[in-house]
Chain A
Amino acid sequence: QQQVKQSPQSLIVQKGGIPIINCAYENTAFDYFPWYQQFPGKGPALLIAIRPDVSEKKEGRFTISFNKSAKQFSLHIMDSQPGDSATYFCAAFTGTASKLTFGTGTRLQVTL
């Protein structure tokens, strides 16, 4: 049973577009929600993260929107660039269990 559901599986946008990746969770014990970016042949790298007491967080062109009542959160990439082409994973962390649970990933391609 996937505790963190992520969609879409893949996404193609043109340069300058705003790709949106969505995640949903069930476990209310999750208390930290990071997004990781992974380039081919590399390990995932932390991109941006949010706590459930905040509805939005921006870092540069990356924004997380968080809806606690709906148990959903999403990643928006403003003015997307070809260099943003990568696989993006949402995740959820349980402080009491010290465990990170990942979504299934979204492969993003940004075309010229």
Chain B
Amino acid sequence: NAGVTQTPKFQVLKTGQSMTLQCAQDMNHEYMSWYRQDPGMGLRLIHYSVGAGITDQGEVPNGYNVSRSTTEDFPLRLLSAAPSQTSVYFCASSYPPYNEQFFGPGTRLTVL
């Protein structure tokens, strides 16, 4: 199993550009989530999903969109990137009861 995979590893955007961060898992996990990691702030939950067609907001959802059309994939969309979205983004997945989460390797995003 590849586990949780994320693409790209690195990305540089200009303010106002849009992009999609990809996340996929091959463990048939119902639960998937997106976090951002910033220095001194730990990891903060952006959005999460408990199954295909179901998504909900986390602690810092503004500026990000998600959808879950399949069990395997959970893309994160930035519609109009801002410098405040410069961060390392991690995707995670889990099986019930969802308290043990498996993280991907991360995407480092810089917005200029």
Which residues does A use to contact B, with CB under 8 Å? 4, 6, 9, 32, 34, 36, 41-46, 49, 89, 93, 95, 98-105
State how many residues of chain B have any CB contact under 8 Å with chain A. Answer: 26
Q: A43-B104, A101-B45 are in contact. Are A32 and B99 (CB under 8 A)?
A: yes
Say what secondary structure dominates the interface of chain A.
strand
Q: Which of A44, A49, A103 contacts B103, CB < 8 Å? A: A44
Chain A residue numbers with a CB within 8 Å of B31 are 98
Q: Is B90 an interface residue (CB 8 A)?
A: yes
Q: Which of B4, B42, B45 contacts A104, CB < 8 Å? A: B42
A100 CB → nearest B CB, Å: 6
Chain A residue numbers with a CB within 8 Å of B44 are 102
Which residues does B use to contact A, with CB under 8 Å? 4, 31, 33, 35, 40-45, 48, 50, 58-59, 90, 92, 97-106
B22 CB → nearest A CB, Å: 15
A46 to B103, CA, bound (A): 9
Chain B residue numbers with a CB within 8 Å of A9 are 40
Chain A residue numbers with a CB within 8 Å of B98 are 93, 95, 98
